[in-house]
């Protein structure tokens, strides 16, 4: 089982990379850095919480582990 610190750091690094990608995509579609940034931040916050909950749920499932 993973520690809460490890899980939190994994979630943060995953979302940081996603934030950058979403900001570029948002800018490409809107032509606005502020709109692209707002889309990216909102998506990242929602994605962070979703990923964290997803990982917590899977940490309680032993299927497929050696």
Identify whether 11 is part of a domain. yes
Asked if residue 65 belongs to a domain, the reply is: no
Distance between alpha carbon 29 and the CA centroid of its chain, in Å?
Answer: 21
Q: Is residue 12 part of a domain?
A: yes
- What's the pLDDT score for residue 28? 95
d(CA 27, CA 5): 33
Give tens-digit pLDDT for 13-47: 987 888 899 999 999 999 999 999 999 899 878 88
User: For residue 53, is it within any domain?
Assistant: yes
* pLDDT beyond 80 at 66: no
At residue 2, the pLDDT reads 80
Helix spans in the chain (H)? 4-30, 33-59
Residues contacting residue 38 through CB under 8 Å, at least 6 positions apart? 26
Looking at the structure of the chain, the number of domains it has is 1
For residue 44, count other CB atoms closer than 10 A to its CB. 21
pTM: 0.60
More confident call, 12 vs 35: 35
Q: Which residue is it, tokens 């964290």?
A: 52
Please indicate, yes or no, if residue 39 is contained in any of the structural domains.
yes
Q: Which domain holds residue 10?
A: 4-59
């Amino acid at each position: 089982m993973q520690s809460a610190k490890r899980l939190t750091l994994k979630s943060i690094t995953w979302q940081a990379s996603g934030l950058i990608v979403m900001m570029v995509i948002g800018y490409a579609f809107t032509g606005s850095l502020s709109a692209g940034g707002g889309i990216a931040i909102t998506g990242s916050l929602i994605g962070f919480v979703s990923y964290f909950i997803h990982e917590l749920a899977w940490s309680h499932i032993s299927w497929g582990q050696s």
